[in-house]
Structure 1
Amino acid sequence: MSLTRRSVLRAALAGACAAPLLAGGPSLAAAAVAATTEVPDSAFFGVWNATTGTWRALPVLDYAAFPALAPVADAARTGDYTAARAALLQYMRTRPERTPPQWGYNGVYTPALVPLFLDHIWTLGKGEIYHSTLTVGAQWTAVDADVTDGVRSATSAGGVGFMLMARHKEPSTAQFAGRHAADGAPELTLTSADGTVRKLAASQSCHIAAGPDAATPFGSAETLQVHDEGTGPFTDATRKAYLWFDLTGVSAPKTATLSLTGRTSAGQQQIMLYQVQVSFDETSRCWNNTVQNTFSWHGDPNGFDWKKPTGANVDNEFGYQLPRFYFAGPLADAYRTGHDEQIAAGLLRLMTDFITEANASASSAGAASFPRNLDAAWRYQNWCYAYEILRTSPSLTADANTSILKAIHTGGRYLTNTTSPTPNWMVTIKSSLLYLGVCFPEFLAAAQWRDGAQTYLIQQLAGALYPDGGYSEASSSYAMGVAQTFVATAGVLVTNGYAVGSAAPLRDLAWYLADQTYPNGYDPAYGDSGYTDQRTALAALADLLDDDHLRHVATAGAAGTTPDHTSVTYPDTRVVVQRTGWSATDWYLRLNADRGNHGHPDELAIQLYAHDRPLLPAMGAYSYAADPTADWLRKSTQAHNTITIDGRAQNPTAAGAVSNLSLPWADLADGFTDATPGVRHQRSALFLHGLGWLVTDTLTPADSGQHTYQQNWHLLPDAGPVLDGATARTRFAAGTQLTIIPAEPAAVSATVEDGHYSPITYQVAPTRYVSYSLTAAGVRTLDTLLLPTPPGARTRASLSVEASDDGGRTLRLISSTSRLDGYYFRAPGDGASRRLGPYLFDGSLAYVDRHAAVQRILLAGGTLLRQGRRTLLATAEPLVSTLAVRLDPARRTIEIAGPAAKPGGRPLHLAAPWARTATVAGQKVPITRKGGLVTISALH
């Protein structure tokens, strides 16, 4: 499909190129080229042979296509490269405007960060959010900070933290009263909308120290120390302080004020206040076990060294993302808004310093590739944006301009040839190459960059999808990042006057994302992902693809047309989604056996949403740090809503499959995985719309020995789960609740365990999850009822196992509030008749209930369903697949659905003498009567 200019412009205006991809995992390396010194002027501007009247050394600039470059060419022909530099700067100042790509940023940006960037203070991600700078004097003094927004955002997480860090490198040490101090202890004052005031004392406080005390906890200290001096990101004398306030049971306040008492050993000292969203234990926290995301090179004459701070327990991503120049866009915007030349000069110094440092680094491939190709790609995207603003700044000198353009040209050559086995890396790399070709058409290679990158991107996208349209990396954030990149590149091409090619696979990816999005429009956050609103990005995709159904999803039904499907199966990607509809109050389940980069060992994990919230969410990723919390979230099966076998993490590359049957009043998902060697795990989820889910886990070991199984159900931090025997219930302050009911409570050990929840990268909160464990030999089955209760509703239900004479296993489901009494079994399809409560059936699957006056029947295989001596359903030949029947005496209707249903097909006999209307697969069919049975032509 050709992408229209109108739709692409709308997508661009929607901010389609917003959030950058998470960085690739630390195991992925980059290709490098040898380019450790700056390109000489002769190779950049060219060397002219006056005798032949030709270029002896070709320039990289397209003098012929851009007549305004003539002064540059004239100077180059005479070998006056100083004049060529000056002429190039003059050209760039006055050339036509380009529309660059939007800048990427990886944290929480506010204009208050601008002076910190200029002072070489940088934060990785969203784990530490700059708030303000406080000032303390030589005497103990109370200082207050308005932290309303931070506390409001943290109430659902159950707590909020703060970090104190020195603003300047100086010998003085600031002291603050900790929570153990007799006077002046930290306090959080919360004022509610009705004027009620509540004061909270800190529940944890400590400082951490580098150097000899790096392994020492200071949680019992009455006085917290803050100090930073010397050069580099920190020294042995560096100290940072941390506070944590427990917000359990606290609703979002009207105002929140943090009160501290502090002093400094000097006359006055400035202290930066950051909000942190990582809880800690003051008795054990120290420098060595704290993942820090903010470091300062302020006052260091060398500025950033562009590397991970050596000796700090910090995420490897720090050394990858700092050279991406995520701060370039914000600084350029600040300069454009205020015309402050100090900002322009500061950003230009950062850019030229990086070029010098990277080119001189013996361990890198120069400024073009440092430190990896993914990071270089992001850097050049951000430089495209910044340069378009900086090119008119008086602070841009001819030498700086030439150095930057040389680095950009070398970067284009590098991005043309570098490769990666990871799809999202290659998409990022080639999109950046396309941006260079659009924003710098003066380079001879620009057209090749644009056209080659666009062709590659479309081919790469097609290769990154499974045949069913699902994305090959098992992470929703990475899949969305790739989709957003296509929207962004299309917008940049069109707004700069270039054609956009067809990108047919993008529609498949867009729907893969939309199908998995929670009913409230948020990311299901599986794999290395975060719980973020997807609707703006989906709206951009809807505009780009001109897809009215997708627009409906993106706008929560405010525009567009309702999609023609609800539940969906991606068999190649190995993902099932059950949903009742597309509104925020619909119900949803995701079951996966997926695999790929950035995935977790979460085979057959379930994510659940009902009415107004996720009830069984994915728990997130936190970071790529070598940290116990991050490792638990990303690398353990225990952190996911599935079964851990023998305490081992699954191998997601093992055999597995999923499927789903969608019916008018039920869905039935099935899956299996061999991800734990020696035991096959099978899981099914029967979704009874409006009631809940019956989940059956069957564990089949290959040996006769005992195995330990742990079935875990993870909850949001404010869920407050409690156990009543083995039945678990959430206690949210408001909204939908979840009840978890095991069918055989005596067979399992039920506990509530401590866990972690990371809604977005670099933030994590404590939470609790429900665990059912047992140790047994042979085949074991665990049946569980997941029962949501929306606000205002009353839902009571029970689930039990009823053994039959033939040794079968039948589930009995009773809901007094729904007036439902049902029976459910699955068995081998051997033609034998098996009893399920008062019913008898000879197939492989049967669910029969009475839901008020309505009888519902779900069958697979078999020919006869009886209740006592009474025939309820009969066929001449076994059902070839699954059949769903709904009998409504009050309305006198029969409704037949499912893959076994076929209007005008083989006869089906039913005990419904009262029936007046019958439909098969939505089509009305005639009814014939004989005795107490009616016959309709309904079967394949």
Structure 2
Amino acid sequence: MYDHQVKTEKLPMGRIHNKAIFEQRGFVNVAHTFPEFKETRAWLELAMARTCENFLAQTTSDGVQREWSGGYHLGVLADAVEISSRMDEFGVPVPEEFRQRIRAMYDYIYGIATPDLGFPMFGDTARPLVEDPDRSTWPLYGALMEATQLFGDPKYATRARLDEDALPPPASHAFPEAGLYALRNGWGQDQIYLALHCSPPAITSHDQPDNGTFELYAYGRWLMPDSGFYTYGRDPVARAWHRQTQVHQTLTLDGQDSQEDAKQLLWHTEPAFDALVVENQSYPNLAHRRTVWFVNKSTDGRGFFVFLDEALGDATGQLDLHFQFAPGELRFDKSSGRATTTFADANVLVLPDAAMLRLAEQSEGWFAWQYGSRRPRPAVRYQHKRAAPVAFLTLVVSYRGEQAPSAAAPLPADFVIGADRVVLSVSVFGDTWEVGRDLEQGKAWALSR
């Protein structure tokens, strides 16, 4: 045991990696378990310095572990909390920035957690199918309750227990350094919730090449979940399938995987609507700019999303926009691209501007919610009729019951691809809306007409 301590002291991992924190936790726990070693105090001080440096480097200032994967976020967070506790026991000073980063990681959980208290299934993140109504059995319940115990702040516990009388008004959350977003209009099971991922390169391969992708939940069910990761090593072919860009809700060029080079261009949130603009340099000569408006979100049962996807650059090749749905039957009209799910309680309509399409067709889809478990699910792809630069305009409308609402979203004939200022007119649920953005002024709007 002593020799192992000396080895870790002299030859640490030396990389920005989750395993570097795991290593230091072990180093600390041996010193904690055997305080009779004369080097114990020196080991603890060394571990604190190393852990703090590595921990701050592998997490963003807005509190997200840089693998963009929920399980690794929780693992690194748990180790940091344990190390901090051990230091407190021995009277070893813990830097304030270390404690604040721990709190920021809990704040990320508070803001990003799904309606069933899981993480969005980005990268190598699993999310069990919640069937037990007991919230204490849900994935992130324990982490939220722990945060209240650590910081004496009841907000985390109220989120865990869904104490709606004590919770603040529902708020969307942006984590711009991490490129992760949660757009919502409630806290409970009946909310509309959309999580979006558009991140810089991760520190390991636990992320997937899917910048711009999203998941959608509404009215008590997942309607457009992520494809998941399915497996690590036991089925390399299936793992490679789940990692493809084209099996995520984003844009591809010639069906090839995209690269990760993302930035946030605009974030606006208020009670009535949200707007988000992100951009990813997906290919050497092609950037994907995605604008999302969450419109009318404060009116029960009538909130919806407008997606404007601009392919900017001079790359030649086939441009496709992909969408995937929850397992179940899909009604799909190839001529219009209109797609609707067919559940009894809640559904989603995906409607593109058909005038811009050369082809709309169904494609292979799989949904893997945990390691080794997956099932088929419907997916569609929309192929643009021109090469870049082009734009796709798509409505994503969740609704209660089986009757899809009326909807239309034509791209204006004078639309300028890549312009800072955009003004669009869309009609949903019998109402007409003007949605817009102005990147130069940092503004966005959604106005009922």
Q: Normalising to structure 2: TM-score of the pair? A: 0.83
User: In the TM superposition, what are the counterparts of 1:234-313 in structure 2 within 5 Å?
Assistant: none
User: 1:48 — aligned with what?
Assistant: none
User: 1:576 — aligned with what?
Assistant: 181
Query: Which amino acid is 2:258 matched to?
Result: Q
2:258 and 2:283 in contact (8 A); partners too: yes
State the 1:810 CA deviation: 6.7
Query: Which amino acid is 1:508 matched to?
Result: A
Deviations 1:716-764 (A, max 9, x none): 3x332231342111123x4421111112267242222222222122333
User: 1:680 — aligned with what?
Assistant: 287
1:771/1:539 CA distance change after superposition, 3 Å: same
User: 2:372 — aligned with what?
Assistant: 762
User: 2:427 — aligned with what?
Assistant: 814
User: 2:408 — aligned with what?
Assistant: 799
Q: Distance in 2 between matches of 1:482 and 1:627?
A: 26
Q: Distance in 1 between matches of 2:380 and 2:444?
A: 35
**After alignment, is 584-593 or 684-693 more displaced?**
584-593
Query: Which amino acid is 1:409 matched to?
Result: Y
Deviations 1:130-159 (A, max 9, x none): xxxxxxxxxxxxxxxxxxxxxxxxxxxxxx
Answer yes or no: is 1:411 the counterpart of 2:4: yes
Q: Distance in 1 between matches of 2:124 and 2:113?
A: 16
Structure 2 portions without partners, runs of 5+:
129-138
Deviations 1:466-497 (A, max 9, x none): 23333322222211211122334456677x77
User: In the TM superposition, what are the counterparts of 1:343-362 in structure 2 within 5 Å?
Assistant: none
Query: Which amino acid is 2:406 matched to?
Result: A
State the 1:661 CA deviation: 0.8
State the 1:538 CA deviation: 2.2
Structure 1 portions without partners, runs of 5+:
1-407, 827-844, 846-859, 862-878, 889-940
User: 1:739 — aligned with what?
Assistant: 349
Q: From 186, 209, 215, give the equivalent of 1:607.
A: 215
How large is the RMSD of aligned CA atoms in angstroms?
A: 3.0
User: In the TM superposition, what are the counterparts of 1:839-850 in structure 2 within 5 Å?
Assistant: 845=437
Q: Distance in 2 between matches of 1:640 and 1:887?
A: 31
Q: Distance in 2 between matches of 1:630 and 1:883?
A: 39
Deviations 1:373-403 (A, max 9, x none): xxxxxxxxxxxxxxxxxxxxxxxxxxxxxxx
Q: Secondary structure at the match of 1:505?
A: helix
Query: Which amino acid is 2:38 matched to?
Result: L
Q: Distance in 2 between matches of 1:612 and 1:655?
A: 31
User: 1:774 — aligned with what?
Assistant: 384
1:727 and 1:741 in contact (8 A); partners too: yes
1:489/1:744 CA distance change after superposition, 3 Å: same
Answer yes or no: is 1:553 the counterpart of 2:146: no
Max radius of gyration: which structure? 1
Q: Secondary structure at the match of 1:581?
A: coil
Q: Distance in 1 between matches of 2:53 and 2:153?
A: 22
1:571 and 1:657 in contact (8 A); partners too: yes
Q: From 645, 662, 665, give the equivalent of 2:253.
A: 645
Q: Distance in 2 between matches of 1:665 and 1:558?
A: 19
Q: Distance in 2 between matches of 1:446 and 1:629?
A: 47
Query: Which amino acid is 2:46 matched to?
Result: G
Q: Distance in 1 between matches of 2:125 and 2:8?
A: 26
User: 1:709 — aligned with what?
Assistant: 319
Query: Which amino acid is 1:521 matched to?
Result: L
State the 1:558 CA deviation: 6.7
1:409/1:613 CA distance change after superposition, 3 Å: farther
2:280 and 2:288 in contact (8 A); partners too: yes
User: In the TM superposition, what are the counterparts of 1:382-397 in structure 2 within 5 Å?
Assistant: none
Q: Distance in 1 between matches of 2:444 and 2:276?
A: 15
Q: Secondary structure at the match of 1:540?
A: helix
Q: Distance in 2 between matches of 1:773 and 1:881?
A: 31
Query: Which amino acid is 1:472 matched to?
Result: R
Query: Which amino acid is 1:572 matched to?
Result: E
User: 1:243 — aligned with what?
Assistant: none
Query: Which amino acid is 1:599 matched to?
Result: D
User: 1:509 — aligned with what?
Assistant: 105
1:586/1:415 CA distance change after superposition, 3 Å: farther
Q: From 49, 63, 67, give the equivalent of 1:473.
A: 67
1:769/1:537 CA distance change after superposition, 3 Å: same
Query: Which amino acid is 1:548 matched to?
Result: P
Q: Distance in 2 between matches of 1:447 and 1:558?
A: 46
User: In the TM superposition, what are the counterparts of 1:431-510 in structure 2 within 5 Å?
Assistant: 431-490=25-84, 501=94, 502=96, 503-510=99-106
User: 1:276 — aligned with what?
Assistant: none
User: In the TM superposition, what are the counterparts of 1:908-919 in structure 2 within 5 Å?
Assistant: none
Deviations 1:149-189 (A, max 9, x none): xxxxxxxxxxxxxxxxxxxxxxxxxxxxxxxxxxxxxxxxx
1:699/1:492 CA distance change after superposition, 3 Å: same
Query: Which amino acid is 1:821 matched to?
Result: T
Q: Distance in 1 between matches of 2:411 and 2:256?
A: 32
User: 1:535 — aligned with what?
Assistant: 141
State the 1:608 CA deviation: 1.7
Q: From 779, 783, 789, give the equivalent of 2:399.
A: 789
Q: Distance in 2 between matches of 1:478 and 1:491?
A: 20
User: 1:660 — aligned with what?
Assistant: 267
Q: Distance in 1 between matches of 2:423 and 2:164?
A: 45
1:449/1:720 CA distance change after superposition, 3 Å: farther
State the 1:783 CA deviation: 0.8
1:477 and 1:525 in contact (8 A); partners too: no
1:663 and 1:884 in contact (8 A); partners too: no
Aligned length: 420
Q: Normalising to structure 1: TM-score of the pair? A: 0.42
1:710/1:881 CA distance change after superposition, 3 Å: closer
1:484 and 1:537 in contact (8 A); partners too: no
Deviations 1:407-452 (A, max 9, x none): x332222333321423311111111111111222233333333343
Q: From 333, 337, 351, give the equivalent of 1:724.
A: 333
Query: Which amino acid is 2:369 matched to?
Result: P
2:266 and 2:276 in contact (8 A); partners too: yes
Query: Which amino acid is 1:540 matched to?
Result: E
1:887/1:675 CA distance change after superposition, 3 Å: closer
User: 2:135 — aligned with what?
Assistant: none
1:884/1:419 CA distance change after superposition, 3 Å: same
2:263 and 2:278 in contact (8 A); partners too: yes
Query: Which amino acid is 1:799 matched to?
Result: A
